[in-house]
Amino acid sequence: MEAIITDAQERMKKSVAALEEELAGLRTGRASAAMFDKVRVQYYGTPTPLNQVASVSVPEPRLVVIQPWDKGALGDIEKAIYASELSLNPSNDGKVIRISIPPMTEERRKEVVKLAKNAAEQGRVAVRNIRRDANDELKKLEKNSEISEDDLKRGEEKIQKLTDQRIEEINTVLAAKETEILEI
């Protein structure tokens, strides 16, 4: 029974971590190196994550500087940023790429908040699915007389507490991201 609860706990943690990673990639009005996590550069014919061909730094709140380790990759990095869904205009000075992050319009902020809320809801659904799977496994154990009815109830209560904790965590992460998106 403890193995089922431990497994559910680990899977729920991973769901929350996946949500945090997805929200980190959403563009807010501020510069962030995480914005470029999904950008893939055609480096010697292979799609390579940007952070493996260049260093991405944020020297100012609205500026990102990308410095490739191989100067020959500058053009490829620039193309990859143009091709990404970030809608940014990089400027290349031959050594580094500078990207100024423009402030978002009110309409765009609301769109991004909707995306964040959808991602959070998917996270909640994932956590609830994990709860359902764990409860089903406990019921199988009880049906096969491997645990008592009291153990089943205790196990379901523990899993419900885990579920409530993770959903509260998701709500906290979403609230922080919403605040970040809506601040001017």
The pLDDT score that the predictor gives to residue 110 is: 87
pLDDT higher than 70, residue 184: no
Percent of the chain residues topping a pLDDT of 70: 99
Q: Which of 100, 135, 155 is the last residue of a domain?
A: 100
Mean pLDDT (the chain) is 89
Looking at the structure, tell me whether residues 52 and 141 fall in a common domain. no
Q: What is the pLDDT of residues 81-129, one digit of tens each?
A: 888 877 788 988 888 999 988 887 888 888 889 989 999 999 999 999 9
Residues above pLDDT 90, as percent of the chain: 51
Residues 94 and 130 in one domain: no
Residues 17 and 64 in one domain: no
Residues 5 and 92 grouped into a single domain: no
The band of 139, judged by pLDDT with boundaries at 50, 70 and 90, is very high
Q: pLDDT at residue 27 above 80? A: no
Specify the number of domains making up the chain.
Answer: 2
SS (H, E, C) the chain: CHHHHHHHHHHHHHHHHHHHHHHHCCCCCCCCHHHHCCCEEEECCEEEEHHHCEEEEEEECCEEEEEECCHHHHHHHHHHHHHCCCCCCEEECCCCEEEECCCCCHHHHHHHHHHHHHHHHHHHHHHHHHHHHHHHHHHHHHHCCCCCHHHHHHHHHHHHHHHHHHHHHHHHHHHHHHHHHHCC
Same structural domain for residues 113 and 147? yes
pLDDT of residue 169: 96
pLDDT of residue 161: 96
